[in-house]
Amino acid sequence: MFQEYLPKEIAAGEIYFPPLLIAFGAAYVAANLTMVLIGRLGAMKYLYAPVLVELSLLVIYAVALSRYVFPA
């Protein structure tokens, strides 16, 4: 009945990780890979502030992953 309100952790052996930590780690990797792809395509010169673009991608990926892949 109240199972949806219980916190859900991801266990690696005896260590429990919160899902948001895993989501932000995966989002960081995805944002870095996206920025590498943008750099290799030569589109970096069209970005006014690449650091803000990378931060925005990190937030977008983290929200999407925490919402759809690791729902709490």
- Among residues 4, 57, 62, 60, the alpha carbon closest in space to that of 32 is found at 57
For residue 28, the Cα-to-chain-centroid distance in whole angstroms is 5
Q: For residue 72, is pLDDT > 70?
A: no
* 36-58 pLDDT per residue, tens: 999 999 999 999 999 999 999 99
pLDDT band of 16, cuts 50, 70, 90: confident
* pTM for the model: 0.82
DSSP code at position 13: T
Burial class (CB in 10 A: 0-12, 13-18, 19+), 5: exposed
